[in-house]
Amino acid sequence: MKKEREDWSRLYHKMLKRIETMIDVQRIVKDMKKMAEEINMTITEMERTALMASINNRTVNTMNITQISEDL
């Protein structure tokens, strides 16, 4: 009877350790998901900045071409 109780106790502790490991993995995945969302937001902001720079560059080029044409 005592041995059976010890076996159950060992099994119980093994299961607890596995559950704790699963919880740790879930936390890690949650943190990774949060980081990925933040990185995605940063990339989106960078894309917006690059697009605005491109639009501004086109506008300046158009104005320069127009000025050159007027000067001629």
Alpha carbon distance 65, 39 (integer Å): 39
Mean pLDDT value across the chain? 93
- Which token pair is 53? 């720079």
Alpha carbons 22 and 70: distance in angstroms, whole number: 72
Q: How confident is the model at residue 3 (pLDDT cuts 50, 70, 90)?
A: confident
Residue percentage of the chain with pLDDT more than 90: 75
Q: Which helix (H) or strand (E) holds 44?
A: helix 2-71
- Take residue 31 and report the two structure tokens written for it: 């943190």
* pTM score of the predicted model: 0.62
Q: What is the pLDDT of residue 72?
A: 74
pLDDT for 25-50, tens place per residue? 999 999 999 999 999 999 999 999 99
The structural domains of the chain, with segments of one domain joined by +, span 33-72
Alpha-carbon radius of gyration of the chain: 31
